[in-house]
Structure 1
Amino acid sequence: MYLTSWNEDIGLGEVRSTWKGYPFDTINELTDEGLIYGSHRSKSVSFTDEGIKAAEELVRKYLSKPVC
């Protein structure tokens, strides 16, 4: 989700958003864990500060090292 997200200015600051093109079970679980939030009617969700931190840690862990 984080890799396909974008920063969006909502007037009171920026949020990191992504489309809801993922299984609803996954979206519900991440919402329950406090990593993302959003309206049920919206086509996108936004990351919480904790969600951004967790995603950035995963990017560093899995994408910062050479494959070979």
Structure 2
Amino acid sequence: MDIDEDKIDDAALALFYLTLHDDLGHAWKQVDWCITNRLHEKGYIHNPVGKSKSVILTEEGLAKSEALFKALFTKADESGK
């Protein structure tokens, strides 16, 4: 099976939006370390290494996280939008 790691990273980033727990961009980090490392390398989250159970999304990461969450996990309204 050929896995698209970019799609996995996008889904993980979208799930961070679901687990935001304050207005500062903190989200619970319950995904594989390889994924959080790649998201950090892409500039979407600040350094994930440490004992904290949350990550801090960058401004770009927060915006992309919200857009991905809406695109991947919300239903279209009755008009199809």
TM-score of the aligned structures, taking structure 2 as reference length: 0.62
Partner SS for 1:58: helix
Instruction: Give the C-alpha shift of residue 59 in structure 1.
Output: 2.5
Aligned residues: 60
List runs of 5+ in structure 2 lacking aligned partners. 1-15
Higher RCO structure (Cα 8 Å, ≥6 apart): 2
TM-score of the aligned structures, taking structure 1 as reference length: 0.72
Q: 2:20 matched to which residue of 1?
A: 5
Question: What is the distance in 2 between the residues matched to 1:52 and 1:25?
Answer: 19
C-alpha RMSD of matched pairs (Å)? 1.8
Instruction: Give the C-alpha shift of residue 39 in structure 1.
Output: 5.1
- Deviations 1:27-46, CA, capped at 9 Å, x for gaps: 00000000011352222111
List runs of 5+ in structure 1 lacking aligned partners. 8-13
Instruction: Give the C-alpha shift of residue 57 in structure 1.
Output: 1.3
Q: Which has the higher helix share?
A: 2
Q: Which has the higher strand share?
A: 1
Identity of aligned residues (%): 30
Alignment CA distance shift 1:39-1:3 (3 Å): closer
Partner SS for 2:66: helix
Instruction: Give the C-alpha shift of residue 51 in structure 1.
Output: 0.5
Match of 1:47 among 57, 61, 66: 57
Question: What is the distance in 2 between the residues matched to 1:39 and 1:65?
Answer: 33
